[in-house]
Amino acid sequence: MGEQRVVRNRELWELGQEVLRELHPELTHFCIEFVFIDPPRTKQGQALAGSALKANVRERCLLGIDGWVEIAYYFWAGEGQEWQRYLLDHELEHFEVRDGKLCTTGHEIEDFYDVVRRHGTEIAGLTEIGQMARQVTNGYCKRGDGSTEESGVCAFL
């Protein structure tokens, strides 16, 4: 595989800042960058539309950022702004503030529920997530095999 390109883009940054201010105000005092990458990152052989990453000490010192959101240009190009806002919102859900510090978190079904509630299930690829989010009731997570797990946080892999 060739070298991965990372590209800053004013339109992406402006939309990212808008979504950050409107839907994630708890993150506004952190410096979060938004960049395109090509080719996309992969996980278990699947291309990822985006990733949220926390900056390490070197990156904070050299680049002056606390974290960044990478968006695979392949998944962005040609999509409408509604889907683009959903993708940015989803990636920003992976950031949280703990003890005044920016941290990253995995896929928790409750967070998906919030994103689906904000954007609806009609956006491409959200119907299945919407169905999973509706399975979370009364602190129980219904798994695909029908079993339940008592938990306020149900990990979604």
Q: Does the CA dihedral 7-90-63-26 come out positive or negative? A: positive
Distance CA(136)–CA(108), nearest Å, equals: 11
Please indicate, yes or no, if residue 135 is contained in any of the structural domains. no
pLDDT (tens digit per residue) in 100-126: 999 998 765 555 566 666 766 555 455
Please indicate, yes or no, if residue 156 is contained in any of the structural domains. no
For residue 131, report the phi and psi dihedrals to the nearest 5 degrees.
-65, -40
Whether residue 1 has pLDDT greater than 90: no
Distance CA(12)–CA(108), nearest Å, equals: 25
pTM: 0.70
pLDDT (tens digit per residue) in 21-57: 999 999 999 999 999 998 888 888 888 889 999 999 9
Q: Which domain holds residue 4?
A: 1-79
- Looking at the chain, the number of H-run helices and the number of E-run strands are 6, 10
**What is the rounded average pLDDT of the residues 130-152?**
43
Distance CA(79)–CA(62), nearest Å, equals: 33
Please indicate, yes or no, if residue 16 is contained in any of the structural domains. yes
**What is the rounded average pLDDT of the residues 49-66?**
92
DSSP single-letter state for residue 145: T
Q: Count up the domains in the chain and report the number.
A: 1
User: Of 39, 37, 38, 20, whose CA–CA distance to 29 is shortest?
Assistant: 20
Please indicate, yes or no, if residue 59 is contained in any of the structural domains. yes
Residue 119 in tokens: 């954007």
**Res 109: pLDDT:** 53
